[in-house]
A and B are shown apart, each in its own frame.
Chain A
Amino acid sequence: MKNKMVAMILAGGRGSRLHELTEKVAKPAVYYGGKYRIIDFPLSNCANSDIKIVGVLTQYESVLLNAYASGAQRWGLDTDDAGVFVLPPREKLEGGLQVYRGTADAIAQNIDFLDQYEPEYVLILSGDHIYKMNYDLMLEYHQQRKADCSIAVYEVPIEEASRFGIMNTDLNGQIKEFEEKPEHPKSNLASMGIYIFNWKTLRKYLVDDMKKDTDHDFGKNIIPQMLDDGKRLFAYIYKGYWKDVGTLDSLWEANMDLIDNPDQINLNDDGWKIYTDDSNTPPQYVGDDGEIINSYVDQGCVIEGKVDHCVLCTGVKVGKGAVVKDAVILPHSVIGENAVVEKCIVGEKIKVAKGVHIGNSRAKKVTLYAKDVKGGETNA
């Protein structure tokens, strides 16, 4: 069956800078925004962009992610001509079982999967970014430029550019040079790790790369090789909200953007919904002594204390007299009575005992509480 464009989401990384949050789940499965998992964003974008076939490449701690991603009905991708296909490394007749050695190798090991859909184009996505993007517009751009590969780029402040993979382009947007984390950046166009390739071209490069001793990485190997060969690579400038939530601080900030910068990232847009699992929980209840201000709160929460400038995920309970400020609380955690919780991320199903004080609103860095906080412990 022929498909114009098939999407492949790279979801195998751990995201070690998220510390205990990714101890048992891969980064794409981390919660964000009260009810979502990060991978809901690329998957919803695919569904909204009318992409029918999505492969999800998993590797690190993939049990939960595999189960989650294979429920294609969550994103409306469960028709006969659509599907979400979970692709962890598998044993093959030749070569046995090999882990994915890099982003390019993960795709290369699934050439057979892609071939069966006879795609004209392949969209490579990363499973750990928060953004809303119409990939169909990017494909239009790619076709207009008659490109071999288009790379979505984001304009970052030039002083931060040395943290990213930077694209140096000519006036037409054609990429002349790619520099990974340059010390002296020549442009501020950072790669978002979103690529559209002509499948036939990419296929050749993947087969070649597999045989070589490289990092098997799109940014380090495939893109530079294509540039060397004089292929037509174009930068597609994306102007919307985009956040790589690779660290605890950036995860916290991206959550706070929902409160502080609601015009930048609106998750309640009927024209571009972000789909996720439904939790079958009742509406949130705010008690007679409870108070929620300036916050983003999901269903199933029971709030008997004070919540100020927080993102509360599904089913969080805040006890009487508790004060929760500048915090991101992941699903089903319980904040005990009279506890004080400030500027932190509280993990999933965590119990914070009565009367304790955790976190500090004046701290520069965000603290993660990934284990139950027992009485008597104070960490202010």
Chain B
Amino acid sequence: MRRTLGIMIFTHDSNKIEGIGDYVSASAVSFLGRYRAVDFGLSNMANSGIDSIQVFVKEKPKSLVEHLDSGRQYNMNTKRGGIRMYFAPEHYSSMTNYLTDVSTLYYNKIWIERENKDYVLITNSNMIFSFDFNKLLDKHKESKADITVMYKECNSANKQFINCDVVELNRQNGVKTITQNHGDKAKRNIMMGTCIMSKDIFLGMIDQAYHTSRLYWLRDILSDACEYLDVRGYKYDGYFASINSFKSYYDTSMELLDTRKRNQLLQDEWPVYTQTKDSAPTRYANGGKAVGSLVSNGCLIQGDVEHSIIGRKVNIGKNTVIKNSVIFPDVEIGDNVVIENAVVDKYSSIHKVKEIKGTDEQPFYVRRGDTI
């Protein structure tokens, strides 16, 4: 993997997480209490032995810049490599239609050219999975394909992975077409936003995309490439989720409270790295307790937490009940509050309102920084 450049690209506009996405870029969204979405892809690359990663940023860079910091937490801050961030062209900032991954890659193309690497591995910050990319590279070399894309077979695509890209394959695992999942069919091959190819082919594709249409996204040019290049699929079997909407964010969070699924994603020998906050362990006091839940460090739990995910430095008051909910870091919840089926964004504070109830289908969203 030392000959491979890692590229972390942002997600398509149609995959915005409603609500949460108003405040941070989708890649920086808080996930499973102590992580941000981008940690999974970056950890996969770091654990696979990629020593140079380029992260492309479209908008709202603050959280991501802070979070990636020097890259040391991903073991990436060495003289041999590192994580670098590249930003969307400023002259497009008021023309959001033009702010595509392709225009951002094209704008920063020189930095990709300058990397002394043979391959590029492109992955997407909103795809949640644990995988050793060496397997993908080996398969790619063995098949002599031009491009190898990762996919996951799904039998419930009419309910899940809506708006994700899907591939249609021929018998030789060649990719025939790339389309979008509109939920009309149950059986689909979901694209995982992850592919590998030689650096030369990649640079050629960016050039071509830019000159074909200024509004093209990578998926569009990949779709075109199926016509003239050997594009193959790599079937992935482990845990996979795409957080590309508010609902999928909530569903994925709840799904990972299932220990069997969570153990597929979070494996001892394949750590997920993130920024440390040096928070103390969590303290349970005054009758507070937790059941069926993931609780991060730095919390004070004085109420009941059931089947929920609690972020770092959350205070939960006495006689308060939190059920089927995701509480982001740095949230204050007062005494005698009931929260069910809700997503409570960062820095918010809930004291006056004593009942917040959403449903499984429509979880309640408390906005970032709101006092209610």
Return chain A residues, CB-CB under 8 Å to B297: 35, 283, 298-299
- A275: Cβ under 8 A from any B Cβ: yes
A268 touches B298 (CB 8 A): yes
Contact residues in B for A266 (Cβ distance below 8 Å): 280
Bound-state Cα–Cα, A135 to B246, Å: 49
Evaluate contact between A285 and B289: CB separation under 8 angstroms. Answer: no
Q: Is the CB of B290 within 8 A of A262?
A: no
Question: Which A residues are CB-close (under 8 A) to B295?
Answer: 283-286, 297
B198 at the interface (CB under 8 A from A): no
B292 touches A267 (CB 8 A): no
CA distance A264 to B66 in the complex (A): 32
Given the known interface contacts A33-B280, A35-B281, A275-B278, the answer about A283 and B271 at a Cβ–Cβ threshold of 8 Å is: no
> Would you call B291 and A288 a contact (CB within 8 A)?
yes
Task: Identify whether the interface residues of A are mostly helix, strand, loop, or mixed.
Answer: loop
What separation, in Å, do the CA atoms of A180 and B308 have in the docked complex? 55
Instruction: Name which residue of chain A comes closest to B73, CB basis.
Output: A278
- By a CB distance below 8 angstroms, the chain A residues around B281 are 33-35, 267, 296-299, 311-312
Identify the closest chain A residue to B283 (Cβ): A296
Task: Say whether, besides A73-B72, A282-B272, A283-B32, A288 and B292 are in contact (CB < 8 Å).
Answer: yes
Report the interface size class on chain B.
35 or more
Q: Is B203 an interface residue when CB atoms closer than 8 A count as contact?
A: no
Docked CA distance A142–B170 (Å): 80
Q: Is B87 an interface residue (CB 8 A)?
A: no
What is the number of residues of chain A that contact chain B, defined by CB distance less than 8 Å? 36
Q: Given known contacts A284-B294, A286-B292, A292-B289, is B282 in contact with A278 (CB within 8 Å)?
A: no
Residue of B nearest to A278 (CB): B276
A39 shortest CB reach to chain B, Å: 15
Q: Which of B305-324 contact A (CB under 8 A)?
A: 305, 309-310, 313
Complex CA distance for A281 and B288, rounded to whole angstroms: 23
B34 x A283 contact (CB < 8 A): yes
A294 within 8 A of B: yes
Q: Please indicate which of the listed interface residues A258, A276, A291, A294 has the most CB atoms of chain B within 10 Å of its own CB.
A: A294
Report chain B residues within 8 Å CB of A297.
Answer: 281-282, 284, 295
Query: Is A1 at the interface (CB under 8 A from chain B)?
Result: no
The residues of A that contact B313 with a CB separation of less than 8 Å are: 268
Q: Are A262 and B283 in contact (CB under 8 A)?
A: yes
Closest B residue to A299 using CB positions: B297
8 Å CB interface, A270-325 against B: 273-276, 278, 280-288, 290-299, 311-312
Is B273's CB under 8 angstroms from A286's CB? no
**Is B104 part of the binding interface, using a Cβ–Cβ cutoff of 8 Å?**
no
Contact B287 A293 (CB under 8 A): yes
- Which of A195-212 touch B at CB < 8 Å? none
Q: Please state if A291 and B33 are interface contacts (CB–CB under 8 Å).
A: no
- B93 lies within 8 A of chain A by Cβ: no
Chain B positions within 8 Å of A299 at CB level: 34, 281, 296-297
Tell whether, in the assembled complex, residue A292 and residue B34 are in contact, meaning their CB atoms are under 8 Å apart.
no
Q: Distance (Å) between the CB of A104 and the closest chain B CB?
A: 34
Q: Say yes or no: B272 contacts A280, CB within 8 Å.
A: yes
If A282-B272, A283-B33, A284-B295 touch, does A258 touch B283 (CB 8 Å cutoff)?
Answer: yes
Given A273-B278, A274-B278, A280-B271, A285 and B284 touching (CB < 8 A)?
no
Give Cα A276–Cα B298 distance, bound, in whole angstroms.
Answer: 14
Whole-angstrom distance between the Cβ of B178 and the nearest chain A Cβ: 34
Is B73 in contact with A285, judged by CB distance below 8 angstroms?
no
The answer to whether A287 and B288 have CB atoms under 8 Å apart is no
Q: Which residues of chain A are near B296, meaning CB under 8 Å?
A: 283-284, 299
How far apart sit A280 and B273, CA to CA, in the bound complex (Å)?
6
Q: For the complex, what is the distance from the CA of A278 to the CA of B34, rounded to whole Å?
A: 12
A287–B259 contact, CB under 8 A? yes
What is the CA–CA distance of A133 and B290 in the complex, to the nearest angstrom? 34
Question: Given contacts A282-B266, A282-B272, A285-B259, is CB(A290)–CB(B291) below 8 Å?
Answer: yes
A293 near B272 with CB under 8 A, answer no
Query: B280 contacts which of A259, A274, A281, A295 (Cβ < 8 Å)?
Result: A274
List the 7 closest pairs (A to B, CB-CB), nearest first.
A34-B281, A278-B276, A267-B280, A298-B281, A283-B33, A268-B280, A280-B271
Known: A268-B279, A274-B280; 11 extra A-B contacts, CB below 8 A, are A33-B281, A34-B281, A35-B281, A276-B278, A278-B276, A282-B33, A282-B294, A286-B293, A293-B289, A297-B284, A299-B281
* A/B interface sample: 27 pairs, CB < 8 A: A34-B280, A35-B280, A35-B297, A73-B72, A258-B283, A267-B280, A268-B283, A274-B278, A275-B278, A276-B278, A278-B276, A280-B274, A282-B32, A282-B34, A283-B32, A283-B309, A284-B282, A285-B262, A286-B290, A287-B292, A294-B284, A295-B283, A296-B282, A297-B282, A298-B297, A299-B296, A311-B281
